[in-house]
Amino acid sequence: MKNRLCITHRFDGMALRVLFYITIIVALSGVACKSAKNSHAARSSPIVVSSDFDSGSIDTLWESRPNFLTGWPKHWKQKSSSDDQYYWFYFKLNNVVNKNITIKLDSLAGIYRGGPHLIYTKGTQPVYSYNQKNWERINDVRYDSKLHSLSFRNLFKQDSVWIAYAHPFSYGQGLALIDSIAGNQFLTIETLGTTLQGRNINLLTVTDTTVPDAEKKVVFITTLQHAGEYCGGYVVSGLLNFLLSDNNNAALARKTTVYKIIPMMNPDGIFHGITRFNGNYEDLNQEWDDDFTDTLHLPVEPEAACVKKWIRDWRSSGRNIDIGLDIHSQGQQGSMNLLHTPKGMLADFTPHLNTYWPVKYIPVEFSGSLNDCLAKEFHISSGTFEIPQSGINNEAYLTIDDYYNYGKGIALGITDYLTKLSKKSLAE
């Protein structure tokens, strides 16, 4: 009996252990099945595309097969011409965690100033972000020049991601920039006018008011005439943050120069994610008049009209503008920072810029542009920056920090240049 009890006891203990292990195995299997089910669900969940946000834009984009999206960017037709611009896209994807997504964009043939215009190239590298602040490049990109299609692929590590042609600078970012520096003792903000949709055209003045303005040079800088050329927003951000800083060179700039800066010439186009045009579907940089002898006429578009009126009023008050600079982007097909000027203006300015960042000087005129207007109607030394949204000389692609540094470099180059001119004037 004792032996039987012992055997039974041992058997019951073994049975319990077996039962325990079976229970564990079943439980783990359930977890694994649930995990596999969830993983499958994640993989099988359809990708959701949206662009209904500040600066967002895409025409059609759908999941034509699993993890493969097909569509095209939105084409914007200029109201007064045959021009058709399309390059800007900025959209959000949901349900993409751990998915290797391919996006193929077609219908990539546009028209610029009446002729064929292809903005995408084999060097085009879109950007993506999980928070709309930190952006990375998509490197797996293919461009088919015969079919005019752009394909790019990336594995995303979070469920939601924003994808754009290049680093966006939204209307909200422009307002946030102004809010962040408002109240600075060296800054004044005024509104020159409003767009058709009621957004302000702000003029920011940076200078040291303890020094009489009569002793200073005046520099006029604009950017974001063309929506989609967003690097200008970051360049001006870097310029403003430097000029308002405690840096000794910034203090010198404020004592010797009055900066007049318009950080967003085209807020409607920026907000709606329109490629190039304003909210009235016109190219602002063709609105400054071809006939610059007609000094009573103002441009039709309100953005250009209010700025031109301010220039006239400023000069009528006896003040001059010594340098005018308009900041643009040449997209991702370019590989150099360019400075375009009419009639050889500012050729001696370029070496001072090259001390801080590489710029190639190319004299050229664009009819109806702000650059031409400043030069021909107001006889102001003027130039247009064309900054690539790719890389310089096939090197690493430019980052937002690079654009910030370009803004600082513009201020330093201007100070060096104007100091040289002042010394030359005194010597003469």
Q: How far is it, in rounded angstroms, from Cα 251 to Cα 178?
A: 20
Alpha-carbon distances, residue 110 vs 55, 85, 120, 126 (angstroms): 20, 6, 11, 19
Give me 64's structure tokens: 């034509």
In degrees, rounded to 5, the angle at the alpha carbon of residue 10 between the alpha carbons of residues 9 and 15 is 95
Question: 400-427 and 231-243 helices cross at what angle (nearest 10)?
Answer: 60
| 268-277 pLDDT, tens digit each | 999 999 999 9
Asked whether the predicted pLDDT for residue 28 surpasses 90, the reply is: no
Contact by Cβ (8 Å): 301, 282: yes
Sorted by where each begins, the domain ranges of the chain are 48-164, 171-427
> What is the structure's pLDDT at 302?
96
| 246-255 pLDDT, tens digit each | 999 999 999 9
Q: How far is it, in rounded angstroms, from Cα 4 to Cα 299?
A: 109
> What is the structure's pLDDT at 44?
67
Contact by Cβ (8 Å): 319, 370: no
| 155-197 pLDDT, tens digit each | 999 999 999 999 999 999 999 999 999 999 999 999 999 999 9
Asked whether the predicted pLDDT for residue 373 surpasses 50, the reply is: yes
Contact by Cβ (8 Å): 77, 117: no
> For the purposes of burial, counting CB atoms within 10 Å of the CB of 215, is it exposed (0-12), middle (13-18) or buried (19 or more)?
exposed
48-164: CATH topology: Immunoglobulin-like (2.60.40)
Asked whether the predicted pLDDT for residue 34 surpasses 90, the reply is: no
Residue whose pair of structure tokens reads 């997504």 in the numeric block: 101
Q: How far is it, in rounded angstroms, from Cα 91 to Cα 163?
A: 5
> What is the structure's pLDDT at 115?
81
SS3 label, residue 325: strand
Q: Is CATH 3.40.630.10 what the domain over 171-427 is classified as, yes or no?
A: yes
Q: Which of 279, 369, 257, 265 is nearest to 323 (CA)?
A: 257
Least confident of 268-277, 286-295, 332-341: 286-295
pTM of the model: 0.88
Q: How far is it, in rounded angstroms, from Cα 162 to Cα 175?
A: 21
Asked whether the predicted pLDDT for residue 334 surpasses 80, the reply is: no
Q: How far is it, in rounded angstroms, from Cα 378 to Cα 313?
A: 12
- Measured from the Cβ of residue 131, the count of other Cβ atoms closer than 10 Å reads 10
Find which of 42-56, 284-298, 314-328 is predicted with most confidence, using mean pLDDT: 314-328
Report which secondary-structure segment, H or E, holds 319.
none
Asked whether the predicted pLDDT for residue 428 surpasses 90, the reply is: no
| 78-105 pLDDT, tens digit each | 999 999 999 999 999 999 999 999 999 9
pLDDT, mean over the chain: 88
